[in-house]
Amino acid sequence: MKAINLSGLDKVCYSEQLKNGLEVFMIPYDNKKNYFISFATRFGSDILEWTKNHKSFKPPLGVAHFLEHKMFEQEDGIDPFTFFSESGTDANASTSFDNTQYICSGTKNFNENLKFLLRFVNNPYYTEQNVEKEKGIIAEEIKMYEDIPDFKLEMHLRENIYKNSPRRLDIAGTVSEIKKITKDDLYSCYESFYIPNNMFILIVGNFDPDMAVSIIKNELDYKERKELPKVKEIKEIKTVNVKEETIKANIETPKIAIGLKVPTKDIDIEDLELDLYLNMLTTILFGSSSEFRENARTDKLLNSIYLEWESIPDTKVFYLMASTQKPDLLIDKIKEELKNINISESTFNRIKKVWIANEVKMIDSIDATVSNVFDDIIRYGTIVPKKLDIIRKMKVSILEDLIKNINFDNLSIVKMLKKK
């Protein structure tokens, strides 16, 4: 077992890689009662087509999410949710664009819960009958989300930002597509991507790392390393797909969504550092303590705001979504902010200090640590033990040079107005 010191955070991450390629990351806490376990595969809705053993696969849209639902149906009839609930443990699963994870969290029965989680994820049971039954359930879920204004707004923005990327598509697929899914599709996906060398386990909280590794090896050592599928690469264009759109919905307060598309192929900054600098930029411009936010509050221009960066190969996208009684004025203010960027060294250093303090504070929270570490594993391939050091070394001059390489007119804007 390898011990990795998380620099500046007074924590150690223990890592182990089984001979079949399965990675295990563990961060134990002596001062907590609870624990969190995630068993994840690097398979999400981004993967649309692949080749394996000279065979091509292109299942219907939404298959990764559908597969996640069906993992909870076991041949022995034991319902995983019931099993965990009876032991006072929470359980859940989620599918995103780039991963699917199965989780449990609680304060007791760690060994039993870890064993059960590993077993049920490693024993798929798909039949024509249970697959058909699930189609109606997921179809209702898709229809429900289509009626949620914020979801509708985001999907319109995604379709307008991306021309080719699967990020323009709903993770759950469409009703017409999921009707095509068969048990053979599910087994093809499972056998291609639910393999040890494409999966990892993350455990954080109160547990014994040696015992955890022993259980994992007993349960999964027999699994064989397999050749990873060759996923079809999808090239995305550098410019936004659609610049502006206005849509109507059953809302009282108008909403806006803005996407800034940043091609990164010619930016000579490592991916993690680039993410930090881009986040620094938008925090300075639109963060909770920004001049923009202060003026928007004073002018009663902003009801709520949401900011996020997203990564795909060779591209970063910034999302800004907000509700406002004055959508056109808010859009103009945002455009003006992007065209007149002035970064002061004092503001840059102040935010650096806040970030460092937050990193130190978050390590005391199991939930925050799980979210941080999981995202790093997915985005950068492994944990990032020196993130605090990287933040400390950030320079305002690098951000200023980066700004010169961004086309701030490469925007997509969606306005959502009330139906009359």
Distance of CA 266 to the CA centre of its chain: 25
Question: How many CB atoms are located within 10 Å of the residue 85 CB?
Answer: 12
Instruction: Say which DSSP state 47 is in.
Output: -
Residues 208, 212, 213, 214: is their CA dihedral positive or negative?
positive
Catalytic positions, please? 68
Instruction: Say which DSSP state 344 is in.
Output: -
Judge contact between 37 and 202, C-beta under 8 A: yes
Residue type, 7: S
Instruction: Spell out the alpha helix ranges (H) of 162-182.
Output: 175-178
CA distance 31 to 113: 21
CA distance 169 to 178: 13
Q: Which residues of 247-280 are buried (b: 16+ CB within 10 A; e: fewer)?
A: eebebeebbbbbbbbbbbeebebeeeebbbbbbb
Closest CA to 313 of 264, 272, 275: 264
CA distance 358 to 219: 37
Judge contact between 14 and 28, C-beta under 8 A: yes
Residue type, 166: P
